[in-house]
Structure 1
């Protein structure tokens, strides 16, 4: 990712977790367009996220994961509490259930202008945080 996690690699996770907060937790923000014709489907999917997908998110050391929607944009934020970002990224990318989930959610999304990663979500640079 570019300076503080503004890119992505081949995974569901950005290529690095972003700015470290205290050496053990990194906050990540991402953005993607939600295609208006798929809005209801996308929201319905997320009202019943598959248990195996939730488990994979946790198993990859992702905590406090939320997705927000406004004016056709989805904003995701989460904390990465692991110690091996690349291994967790590879684990998520290899998970067959997560890949099936993405087959349902990816058609609902469109990358933001200028994002060319293999996954539709683009990472954002954190500009402010307060605990």
Structure 2
């Protein structure tokens, strides 16, 4: 299992809409997340900085292939098209990243 932490900004004016959307995530999107071997997925919001932190556990064997599978899914693409304009990617994110990947520096079970 791999643990992933990611960070992204959100516009202050978009927070209410983002919360509304995520209170009722489309079932097909949730099914794709599961089909791509992602478990224990959460998104946290920190105001007033308007930063969102996501955490998930990847239980598959080929992360890149599973993420490509998710990105190719038409329903997921529609979901992202609605959500991406609400998000504010960090200027310091890595090449090809939307949500900035974070290094895990400590873990305790």
Q: Which of the five TM-score ranges fits, normalised by the shorter chain?
A: over 0.9
Aligned residues: 107
Matches within 5 A, 1:1-131: 25-71=1-47, 72-115=50-93, 117-131=95-109
> Structure 1: 5+ residue runs without aligned partners?
1-24
What is the aligned-residue RMSD (CA, Å)?
1.1
The runs of 4+ residues in structure 1 deviating greater than 6 Å are none
> Could you list the runs of 5+ residues in structure 2 that have no partner in the other structure?
none
Q: Offset of 1:115 from its aligned partner?
A: 1.9
In structure 2, how many angstroms separate the alpha carbons of the residues matched to 1:94 and 1:114?
Answer: 26
Residue 43 of structure 1 aligns to a residue in which SS?
helix
Paired residues of 2:93 and 2:101 also in contact (CA < 8 A):
no
**Cα distance change on mapping 1:33 and 1:105 into 2, 3 Å:** same
What TM-score do you get using the length of structure 1 for normalisation? 0.78
Superposed displacement of residue 113, structure 1: 2.6
TM-score by length of 2: 0.93
